[in-house]
Amino acid sequence: MRLRCAVLDDFQRVATEIADWSPVADAVDVVSFDTHHADEETLAAALADIDIVVTLRERVPFPGSLIARLPRLKLIVASGMRNSVIDYAAAETHGVTVCGTASSSTPPVELTWALLLGLARGLVQESNALREGGPWQQTVGADLHGRRLGLLGLGKIGSRVARVGLAFGMRVSGWSQNLTRERADEVGVELAPSKEELLRTADFVSVHLALGDRTRGLLGAAELALLKPTAYLVNTSRAAIVDQDALLAALREGRIAGAGVDVFDTEPLPAGHPMRTAPRLLATPHLGYVSQANYATYYGQAVEAIQAYLAGSPVRRLPASGTPDVQAVPARSDNAGRQ
């Protein structure tokens, strides 16, 4: 009997085009969902006849209650090598294999700088005004050279953001609960003596921390109040690291110059959500990982994972506790024309 594979949240409808699915075409029928299933009931109904699920990042939770409702489910392939919303114990209990893929840190680094530069030079306001016949030159851009970039987190992504900041001639400082002077020296940045000092002195603050018990709500109203009124905040990490109500209040009251946000408390962002209309906000719909090369890796390795599972030798099994996302490998030559 042929198996059925569901690709979730394929909003751009590219999953079956950006990778070569022919290696599993004889055994697997693929259905792609371009809309999000927001609750367990609708997701369980949509996946009732599905054997394999390819899920994108951590947007769709797979708790034990859902897995128990999917008796045909045999394999979950998650993009990336970390996923905190899959109940691995329940998957094992119900005989469901979970596998991951490689993931590159390059796209979120690049998007961080797209947001930061867009904020600093008022690109959205100026572009809209130009196209709509509005005023000519309505903003005065914030310089980067000589200004201070404060990074919360100096891991794989944060360190690469730091190097770009240094190339712009910025003074870069970093802080996290585990950051050492040796690590800061290795990257070539200053070690901030405290989170509070970093926030007080930075002209631009960018968040690059994993979400956990110690980082949830790390930036609340008290922390945001430390920012200069001319400072900008960028978050391409996880929404829950920054108190969303406190951020909205700071933007509405003009207590910071602006924010660039790619992550939200609910995704996709509901119509009417206050983040859609907040002033001084440059927002993107969680594009940090969305790039041609990353998608080619995600879906190309999803096909490999399905092929390996069918052969009885699953690859890149999860959970890979403590293992960071591995760098994406170059797309195979037979996918080059599909990017």
Residues serving a catalytic function are 238, 267, 286
| Token couple for 111 | 């998007």
Q: What angle do CA 306, 286, 138 make, to 5 degrees?
A: 155
**Cβ atoms of 196 and 225 closer than 8 Å:** no
From CA 31, how far away is CA 14, in angstroms rounded?
12
For every residue of 220-264, DSSP letters joined together read -HHHHTTS-TT-EEEE-S-GGGB-HHHHHHHHHTTSSSEEEE---
Q: How far apart are CA 231 and CA 148, in angstroms?
A: 10
| Pair 89, 64: CB distance under 8 Å | yes
Give the Å distances, CA to CA, from 177 to 148, 187, 191.
20, 17, 11
Q: In what order do the strands lie in the sheet with 52-55?
A: 28-32, 3-7, 52-55, 75-78, 97-99
Tell me if 236 sits within 8 A of 115, measured CB to CB.
yes
Angle between helices 106-120 and 123-131 (to 10 degrees): 70
The C-alpha angle with vertex 29 and arms to 315 and 33, in degrees rounded to 5, equals 90
> Quick one: residue 281, left, alpha or beta (phi over 0 = left, psi -120 to 50 = alpha)?
beta
Distances (CA, A) of 57 to 247, 250, 313: 25, 30, 23
